[in-house]
């Protein structure tokens, strides 16, 4: 049991680290990020605070919401995500900017493809560990459970759309050009919306669950 717990903690930590790296790659590719990062990009454009700190502040606000309405969604992984992911994403983006300054479109497309794959892998580790969800994931989960007539999928679509719309409006307020906004909400945003679910499921079955349960998962 203790070994299993240690694996779950390791998977949560790895999931957050890999996810942070993928966010840095998304931002450097400038072809669109996932919905929550769209919101964070908009906030980053209008609030003069370093991205890692801003990420913590935004998630602390969502954490208060989760603690008020359903604290059972909060766990160790929630806290790891809250305090580490933003800074990992920030440092990763700076690293890719140094390694690949002004990348051409083919390189940006490769970065986007790799970012999507490793974000799905990170999510599979994170979800399979089952030590809490991110504060953003908690919003749609709690909403769907409190309003049982509204399916989770609908709640998630609404929260995702709200994040994207708010992110775009904030970017426009900050004076972003349409090309710059396309780096926040673009093909990467569309791909993550439609393909992340199936890819996460594949990584769950092929990598995350076998890693956690060993031979038992292989026999299932």
Predicted local confidence at residue 72, as pLDDT:
81
Predicted local confidence at residue 2, as pLDDT:
58
C-alpha dist (Å) from residue 17 to 104, 119, 130, 183: 26, 10, 16, 23
Question: What is the rounded CA–CA span in Å between residue 209 and residue 213?
Answer: 6
Could you tell me the residue ranges of all domains in the chain?
A: 2-215
* 15: helix, strand or coil: helix
Q: pTM for this one?
A: 0.83
Length reported for the chain? 220
Question: What is the rounded CA–CA span in Å between residue 45 and residue 173?
Answer: 9
Supply the DSSP symbol for 207.
I
Q: Would the CA dihedral through 68, 41, 159, 11 be positive or negative?
A: negative
Number of separate helices (H) and strands (E) present in the chain: 11, 0
- Using CA atoms in the order 158, 159, 165, 168, what is the torsion angle rounded to 10 degrees? -160
Q: Residue 111 corresponds to which tokens in the numbers above? A: 């970065």
Q: What is the pLDDT along the chain (220 residues), one digit of tens a residue?
A: 456 888 899 999 999 999 999 999 999 999 999 889 999 999 999 999 999 999 999 999 999 988 988 888 888 888 888 888 999 999 999 999 999 999 999 999 999 999 999 998 998 898 888 888 889 888 888 888 887 778 877 888 888 889 999 999 999 999 999 888 988 889 998 888 777 778 888 898 899 999 888 755 454 4
CB atoms within 10 A of CB 45: 18
């Amino acid at each position: 049991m203790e070994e299993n717990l240690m694996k779950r903690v390791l998977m949560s930590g790895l999931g957050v680290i890999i996810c942070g790296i993928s966010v840095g790659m998304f931002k450097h590719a400038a072809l669109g990020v996932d919905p929550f990062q769209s919101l964070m990009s908009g906030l980053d454009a209008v609030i003069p605070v370093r991205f890692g700190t801003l990420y913590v502040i935004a998630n602390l606000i969502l954490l208060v919401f989760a603690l008020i309405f359903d604290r059972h969604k909060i766990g160790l992984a929630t806290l790891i995500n809250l305090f580490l992911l933003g800074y990992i994403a920030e440092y990763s983006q700076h690293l890719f900017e140094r390694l690949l300054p002004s990348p051409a479109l083919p390189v940006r497309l490769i970065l986007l493809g790799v970012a999507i794959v490793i974000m799905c892998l990170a999510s599979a580790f994170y979800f399979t560990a089952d030590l809490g969800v991110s504060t953003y994931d908690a919003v749609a989960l709690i909403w769907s459970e409190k309003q049982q007539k509204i399916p989770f999928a609908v709640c998630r679509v609404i929260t995702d759309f709200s994040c994207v719309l708010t992110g775009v409006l904030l970017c426009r307020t900050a004076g972003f050009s349409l090309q710059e906004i396309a780096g926040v909400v673009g093909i990467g945003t569309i791909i993550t919306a439609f393909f992340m679910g199936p890819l996460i499921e594949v990584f769950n079955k092929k990598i995350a669950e076998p890693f956690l349960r060993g031979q038992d998962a292989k026999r299932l």
